């Protein structure tokens, strides 16, 4: 009976976008991870609003897993598991991030019934296993399972499908909802970084907009230096989008975690006399005076 209940519960889920979404927090956000992953055009971005079209949404879960901030809540119903094994479904391909997280949840194998993994699955699995080797974790293997058992289960459940979908709408409990941060990779591998933040010191004016806006606390500002905790970066690109000088770049960088220290100096502007901060020892003017015509009056007069 429990098997039937689990199946009924998985037929219906409510998917929603929480306020953690970059599009809801940042007017300058260019994030489109979920839109790019959705094959059904169910996620719509209009100017600075984002919503899910429930009629188009199939609850496949691709958008949830792709979101760097885990801002999409629900359950990826299209993933099929059996005794800790991920069932191979040719219609979709998991991401490397997805397999790494499943491995931490106890996944050891991918189960196939007849055909071998297609090239997309093979490529993702190979990349995931390469990362797992570096992480010191066991590789995910491919195993063959009995065809008859799979077919008999499918045949049994098919008779309940019509009534089951309606029943499931009122039966699905809260425990099926994805909890906050469940799809954030750094929470599973805290000793490693998957991305790196690069600051262009020639462009950066140390306005600190990115430091204060980063929800993952990647940046820590001290009296004379900025500490960048790359292991906390999730590639949401909020800092990159909010930077008025376009001085920040996020790049993929998988390695053991590192903390980068960027030293800066407090100086007095040669033209206006106002204090300013800079990464460059040779810089003598603040960014306001650097960018203005010398014939203009000082904005500080």
Listed by start position, the domains of the chain span 2-185, 190-263
| One-character DSSP codes across 199-255 | E-TTT-----HHHHH-TT--EEE-SSEEEEEGGG--S--HHHHH-TT--EEEEEEEE
Q: Return the top range by mean pLDDT from 154-168, 253-267, 277-291.
A: 253-267
pLDDT in tens, 90-136: 888 899 999 999 999 888 999 998 778 999 999 999 999 999 999 99
**The dihedral of CA 25, 28, 32, 33: what is its sign?**
negative
User: Same CATH fold, 190-263 and 2-185?
Assistant: yes
Report residue 168's pLDDT band, with 50, 70 and 90 as the boundaries.
Answer: very low
**SS3 annotation, 112-157:** ECCCCCCHHHHHHHHHHHHHHHHCCCCCCEEEECCHHHHHHHHHHH
For residues 193-207, give the mean pLDDT: 94
For 2-185, which CATH class? alpha beta
Q: How confident is the model at residue 235 (pLDDT cuts 50, 70, 90)?
A: very high
CATH number of 190-263: 3.30.70.20
Q: How high is the mean pLDDT of the chain?
A: 83
Q: What is the predicted pLDDT for the residue at 264? A: 94
Residue 80: its pLDDT value, please?
81
Q: How many angstroms separate the first and last alpha carbons of the chain?
A: 79
Q: Is the pTM of this model over 0.95?
A: no
Percentage of the chain beyond pLDDT 70 is 79
Residues 9-39, buried b or exposed e (16+ Cβ, 10 A)?
A: bbbbbebebeebbbbebbeebebebbbebbe
pLDDT for 293 equals 67
């Amino acid at each position: 009976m429990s098997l039937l209940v689990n199946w009924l519960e998985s037929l219906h889920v409510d998917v929603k976008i929480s306020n953690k979404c970059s599009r809801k927090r940042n007017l300058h956000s260019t994030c489109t991870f979920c839109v790019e992953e959705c094959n059904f055009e169910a996620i719509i971005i209009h100017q600075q609003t984002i919503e899910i079209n429930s009629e188009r949404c199939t609850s496949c879960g691709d958008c949830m897993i792709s979101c760097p901030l885990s801002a999409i809540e629900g359950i990826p119903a299209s993933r099929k598991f059996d005794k800790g094994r991920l069932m191979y479904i040719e219609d979709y391909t998991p991401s490397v991030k997805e397999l790494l997280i499943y491995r931490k949840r106890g996944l050891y194998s991918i189960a196939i019934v007849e055909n071998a993994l297609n090239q997309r699955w093979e490529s993702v699995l190979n990349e995931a296993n390469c990362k797992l080797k570096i992480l010191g974790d066991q590789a995910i293997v491919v195993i063959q399972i009995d065809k008859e058992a799979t077919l008999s289960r499918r045949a049994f459940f098919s008779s309940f499908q019509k009534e089951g979908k309606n029943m499931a709408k009122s039966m699905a409990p809260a425990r099926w909802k994805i909890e906050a941060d469940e799809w954030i990779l750094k929470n599973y591998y805290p000793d490693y970084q998957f991305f790196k933040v690069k600051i262009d010191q020639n462009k950066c004016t140390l306005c600190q907009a990115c430091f204060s806006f980063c929800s993952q606390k990647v940046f820590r500002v001290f009296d004379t230096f900025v500490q960048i905790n790359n292991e906390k970066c999730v590639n949401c690109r909020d800092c990159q989008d909010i930077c008025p000088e376009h001085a920040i770049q996020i790049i993929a960088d998988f390695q053991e975690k590192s903390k980068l220290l960027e030293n800066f100096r407090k100086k007095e502007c040669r033209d206006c006399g106002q204090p300013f901060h800079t990464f460059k020892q040779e810089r003598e003017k603040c960014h306001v005076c650097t960018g203005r015509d010398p014939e203009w009056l000082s904005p500080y007069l």
